[in-house]
Amino acid sequence: MQKIVVGVDGSKQSREALHWAVEEAGARGAAVVALHAYVVEPPAPDASPAPPFDLPALVTELHEGAVTFVMEVVEQVVGDTPVDVAPMAVEADPVKALLDASRDADLLVVGSHGVGVSSLLLGSVSLECAQHASCPVVIYRGSA
């Protein structure tokens, strides 16, 4: 069975990309992996000391929140569909996570935030994926 990986960050563009990917998967008889990547940043060195906390519990809580988030986005965007859509959350840089998840995929889909030329100079997720993915990449820019 074919596999389509789509990046999900909650933005309007990623929701539209997910919708498009599900329609494409239906036409191809493919499964979809809806991937949400998140990064846990340590506090700044000059930040006020935080009260003691349980780091493993915090990491687990953050991951569970990310899983819940991507599941809710998939439910809102996809609804009832015969297409197999697997929500997935990983703690990783979004580009690395998408490239890793799409190594054995037939297609990688990302939404375009369309910020402009400056985003290309800085290197956007969609640009990095287009340059380095091992499968075809669709940068979904909307239906207009």
Q: Model confidence over 72-111: pLDDT tens digits?
A: 999 999 988 889 999 999 999 999 999 999 999 999 999 9
How many degrees, rounded to 5, is the angle at CA 77 between CA 108 and CA 120?
40
For residue 34, give the nearest of 103, 95, 109 by alpha carbon: 109
Burial letters 41-58, b for 16+ CB under 10 A, else e: eeeeeeeeeeeeeeeeee
In this prediction the pTM is 0.86
Tokens of 10: 């909650």
